[in-house]
Amino acid sequence: MTPEEHAQAASDLLRAEETGQQIGLLSLRHPEIDMDDAYAVQAALMAHKLAQGRRVIGWKIGLTSKAMQSALKIDIPDSGILFDDMAFETGAMVPQGRFIQPRIETEIAFVMKSPVGGEVTAEDIRAATDYVCPAIEILDTRILRADPESGRARNVFDTISDNAANAGVVLGAERHDVDDFDLRWVGALTFRDDEVEETGLGAGVLNDPVESVVWLARRMAHYGQRIKPGQIILSGSFIRPVECPPGSRIQADFGPFGAVAVNFA
């Protein structure tokens, strides 16, 4: 893809977000699209949002579980950008029509106190972490999940271009030192409308959510980026996405680690 095509794809995605009208698969429009193209589209999308006055507040990591990687036929995670207008308080009500096809995932969030980047280690990430807390990621898709004519599903390049399907972040009130818990054993019961939909453990995220943040710091360095102090890092989901039709009430109970909730009007 050319830089002009990256910019056009980003503009189309931004329009889809604003209008609620999804666009077709970029992987069909541009059969030659590769990983670098997808992150270039994402970077162009970020440039648009920054020009609109948005502010980057962190990053999300996706495709950290074997099941999700297998579904998209890829063996590495992906990442996306958190903007200031994506943040919701725990227990908040998401207005109807804010998202196109919202889903949620349950994860552990890291909030950083020091910058990190390059060939970092797990020890570097632990030292740079201010605290960890329960989190819900809200997903949305500005690209069709499947092409209506061919039936072909979106692939990882579509998802990365679409800001890794990121749409919102909800942090729980509880804050913990990164070494207070073995994060591999931190899990959650995820409820929709008072019924358990999914359960999982932190070990589902690259065997340790800390390793997920290591991966992010190294990937960002490849694209000349760096994790900054104060940024939120969503380390990756340990459950399958839960659909959130209008009226959904979502609660994630992490036991002694805390809880987080969000509702959809």
pLDDT in tens, the chain (265 residues): 999 999 999 999 999 999 999 999 999 999 999 999 999 999 999 999 999 999 999 999 987 876 666 666 666 788 999 999 999 999 999 999 999 999 999 999 999 999 998 889 999 999 999 999 999 999 999 999 999 999 999 999 999 999 999 999 999 999 999 999 999 999 999 999 999 999 999 999 999 999 999 999 998 888 888 999 999 999 999 999 999 999 999 999 999 999 999 999 9
| CATH (one of 3.90.850.10, 3.40.190.10, 3.10.450.50, 1.10.10.60) for 55-264 | 3.90.850.10
How far is Cα 191 from Cα 90, in angstroms, rounded to an integer?
14
How far is Cα 259 from Cα 244, in angstroms, rounded to an integer?
18
